[in-house]
Amino acid sequence: MPKTINKIPAGDPLNIPEQKEIIDRILQENEGAVGATMVVLNELQSEIGFISQAMQAYVAEKLGEPISRIHGVVSFYSFFTTTPRGKHTVKFCVGTACYVSGINQIIDKAKQILNIEPGETTEDGLITLELCRCVGACSQAPVVVVDDNIHGRVQPNRFPRILQDIIKSETE
Ligand code: FES
């Protein structure tokens, strides 16, 4: 049995038969194809919802790639996540315009209210915080993207309202 198999945490998709089947199918379908790494990672993110460390090691082994390469791709593109995303994603644009317009103060506010860091999900699985690159709405900086909706010119004191709207949408 390959070494990486022994290190898989209990709740990892590789230990859940239905998800393992999906992972193996994606790998088999793309084996030997040009650009297989990107295609496989994209499909895993879409179908499983995230790419765990164990999944990265498994993909590296199956595609015969160094684990550092797989890890490099996953950490470079913000589209990929290594843990499951919450039901709603709140992204903070850290592009130049948003940065100089004070996005950091809004990030601090979010961290203070939700008690999580960007890249993490609230315990109830409702909200994931993420950082993202420029979303093309620089004239509205600083920008926060909730799921697919852009909120422009967000001020720290307006941010709690955005979170309240998310919570309210769940209780309606
Ligand atoms: S820098 Fe934030 S939208 Fe462009």
Give the closest residue to 25 by CA, choosing from 78, 52, 62, 71: 62
- Nearest-10 Cα torsion for 64, 69, 75, 77: -90
Q: Is it the case that residue 24 has pLDDT exceeding 60?
A: yes
Whether residue 102 is found in the same domain as residue 133: yes
Contacts of 128 by beta carbon, 8 Å cutoff, 6+ apart: 81, 85, 86, 88, 89, 90, 120, 121, 122
Would you place residue 83 in the very low, low, confident or very high pLDDT band (cuts 50, 70, 90)?
A: confident
Residues 64 and 100 reside in one and the same domain: no
In this structure, the residue with its CA closest to atom 1 of ligand 1 is: 95
Q: Are 117 and 155 found together in one domain?
A: yes
* Final residue of a structural domain among 76, 100, 124: 76
| 81 Cα to the center of ligand 1, angstroms | 21
The answer to whether the CB of 141 is under 6 A from ligand 1 is yes
DSSP three-state, residue 104: helix
Task: Please check whether residues 52 and 101 belong to one and the same domain.
Answer: no
Rounded average pLDDT over 86-112: 95
Mean pLDDT for all residues in the chain: 91
Tell me what the mean pLDDT of segment 31-37 comes to: 89
Per the CB < 8 A criterion, the answer to whether 65 and 37 are in contact is yes
Residue 60 lies in a domain: yes
Domain around 33: 3-76
- pLDDT one-digit tens code per residue, 42-78: 999 999 989 999 999 999 999 999 999 999 999 888 7
Q: How far is the CA of 59 from the centre of ligand 1 (A)?
A: 33
Residue 85 Cα to ligand 1 midpoint, Å, equals 23
User: Ligand 1 in contact with 143 (CB < 6 A)?
Assistant: yes
The answer to whether residues 67 and 92 belong to one domain is no
What are residue 124's DSSP bridge partners? Answer: none
6 — pLDDT class (breaks 50, 70, 90): low
Q: What is the pLDDT of residue 4?
A: 47
Quick check: CB of 150 below 6 Å from ligand 1? Answer: no
- Is residue 117 exposed (0-12), middle (13-18) or buried (19+ Cβ within 10 Å)? exposed
